[in-house]
Structure 1
């Protein structure tokens, strides 16, 4: 057996960290700065839309413009986050730099005209494109391309939400369901932390969510150090969060699939989606589900922030947000899924809090992170996000909610390029390494075959 030289081993570790700090630094600086500009512009276009409600009626035209931009300038960047994940799995074509300005501009257009979308997808694509460009300039070897792309994801996510720890774990978890690449741990942490610092230095202020002091409810005061009744309710809620996260993912995918199948003219797909969103917004309370949904000048509107106070949401606000978001993203508009997932989770948590007799702000916080955990298959990142956004006092309940939601979301997710290392239950012999896209296709093919077999032939 070869003897390990401890001093040389530690020198190697130091050299590795210094090298990746130098590589991650420009990724973080560029990503943090561009994300900051994006967030500042996003606040501005959102304010314009509220000041000029007629902009909503330009949504179909905006969709056409987005499709044309990606057709003639975007090329393979249409795949968005999935392109970055595919490049990490099999480095080859690279992540083009044009992805960053394209997704930034088209996301702003979507929000300016009222599309229900998020911002995480834009930030991650900005980070991925910056990292991909730097990888080409440095001529990094194949294995290092994977790591630098992960630092781009971590930087984008950490900067856009102000959660560097969650950004670090998100980058590590999102590639493979059930497997972490610890080799990229410190490079991702460095990138996420620096990008967050840079973003804040530009004057960006993230939304602050304040919970009441639930110490008496969270802690049983006995040797158990947790409340058994509350824990049971959180498990029930976590199951609901997981099922709804699966419903969200499938809704977005199905709208996209059936739009392509039923509407043969590509430009009519965003037109149809835009008209549907406009029509739904005219229903009582429908305007609450347009745009990002974090805040609204109308005090009666349902928002992500209002879900944390009594009377701040309706019982089915979460369902309406899924409908608006599935139509927006499924018909070609740009943005991200994560902030809508936060909205869905918080308003679903509000409803469950009312039903289960748990303070609505506490349950909204659990839903906020748990629905995202199930839809993105990133439970550890979401537990850390819960601690970073809401404090660590209830971290046990964040963990139970996120882990339960992760399991009950099944082998599905919003990122179809994710690969499954193994079945979530660890079933022996389960074919690992398959993408969620392939698994979904197999499920749909099996369902169609079953329906065809169950339907009697017509004479």
Structure 2
């Protein structure tokens, strides 16, 4: 009897030790990732802000955009290995641990993002932050000989640290790392390292003196049946616009790879096309991050087709090999679309700009929980019920589309549209063509 009692006691002690050891390990690794990713994000944001100012003061730099495309294409063709896949490569690694992420991916996306921003490509920054997080995590996985199952969790933490530090939204960053790889199926085991990485990454970025852009919703309508119906219909529109952007970008990329083939030629043609568009629309407002017009969407009026212009500029930029990110341009597309629709549906401008931002983002990244929490953080909890509706509806009506082709889609979305469960977006589209 004493032997059995002693055995049970020893087993319990061992379980507690294992739990404490695992918890401590996740906290330590999440903190390391957060510190390194937060520092690199601060450097990325600081340099991007600087090169953007340089471009604005030297408008002639935009004429070098085709040359920049050639340089980026050269770097990825001869030195990038398979890092051209960008964020999709990190998602592939989460699904298939045997895939290797080249450590050159982080430094390379740094340089390519600076070139893109300096010369006026329509892009953001989170793509670079996510790829840096993935590269840093891959380095840890190799040198610390992390088990395959734990590698997935650390990669999610790297994504969380990159997103949270890039936007100053640590809660959204936590969930983004857990949700984006497999829409409809979250790995809750990754919660602690993703939380630690995102929060510490954000704290470190702020400690380096980085300030993130802020927009405010000044008026939220009352919850009525008529208003809810309006919001649902608008959410469907936001979901459809997210499809338009995702599909245009993917088709440009496929067309370029099929007919132009050489990344340097693709970059050259992409740069020339963007230059041509600048003269067609008669403004440079859609180059870079377009922050002035984005902020104006919450307080004033913007051109009626600003959302469409930004959609096309960004799809060409990202589809022809330039680097940076897509979330800030998606913010712009959603906010300006909401601004234009506000007087038509008789809803407050800043409120609808915020709904558009969250709705188009949700449809593009297929992450309704992340998008909802992002809206709660960004707009300080205003209109929380409406944002929940918009994110759910937009998620459903974006169907099997999204900006990350390696993202896998799970229930409940796939049940509604009778799609295969657990397939990546790229595989779903391939099967639909056959």
Quote the residue 2:4 is aligned against. none
User: What is the alpha-carbon root mean square deviation over aligned residues?
Assistant: 1.8
- Of 311, 316, 335, 2:305 maps to 316
**Is 2:426 aligned against 1:437?**
yes
**Is 2:58 aligned against 1:52?**
yes
**Is 2:291 aligned against 1:294?**
yes
- Of 156, 161, 164, 1:155 maps to 161
Quote the residue 2:201 is aligned against. 195
**Is 2:375 aligned against 1:386?**
yes
1:273 Cα shift?
1.1
1:175 Cα shift?
0.8
**Is 2:291 aligned against 1:307?**
no
1:136-167 CA distances to partner (integer Å, 9 max, x unpaired)?
A: 11100100100110100000000000001101
- Of 248, 257, 261, 2:258 maps to 261
Instruction: Give distance in 2, aligned partners of 1:62 and 1:345.
Output: 28
1:264 Cα shift?
4.8
Alignment check: 8 A CA contact 1:422 1:430 kept: no
1:8-53 CA distances to partner (integer Å, 9 max, x unpaired)?
A: 7665443322111111121111100001000000000000010000
Instruction: Give distance in 2, aligned partners of 1:377 and 1:125.
Output: 19
1:230 Cα shift?
2.0
**Is 2:77 aligned against 1:87?**
no
Give the match's secondary structure for 2:415. coil
Following superposition of structure 1 onto structure 2, how do residues 17-56 of structure 1 map, counting pairs within 5 Å?
17-56=23-62
TM-score by length of structure 2 reads 0.94
TM-score by length of structure 1 reads 0.89
Instruction: Give distance in 1, aligned partners of 2:283 and 2:265.
Output: 23
Alignment check: 8 A CA contact 1:174 1:377 kept: yes
Instruction: Give distance in 2, aligned partners of 1:265 and 1:105.
Output: 20
Instruction: Give distance in 1, aligned partners of 2:167 and 2:21.
Output: 31
Instruction: Give distance in 2, aligned partners of 1:231 and 1:433.
Output: 32
1:268 Cα shift?
2.0
Instruction: Give distance in 1, aligned partners of 2:83 and 2:364.
Output: 22
Instruction: Give distance in 2, aligned partners of 1:237 and 1:248.
Output: 17
Quote the residue 1:98 is aligned against. 104
Give the match's secondary structure for 1:286. coil
Instruction: Give distance in 2, aligned partners of 1:323 and 1:427.
Output: 30
Quote the residue 1:298 is aligned against. none
Using the TM superposition, name which of 196-205 and 313-322 deviates more: 313-322
Instruction: Give distance in 2, aligned partners of 1:26 and 1:277.
Output: 40
Deviating beyond 6 angstroms after TM superposition, the runs of 4 or more aligned structure 1 residues are: 3-8
**Is 2:390 aligned against 1:401?**
yes
Unaligned runs of 5+ in 2: 1-7
- Of 280, 283, 288, 2:280 maps to 283
Give the match's secondary structure for 1:403. helix
Question: Aligned pairs, how many?
Answer: 426
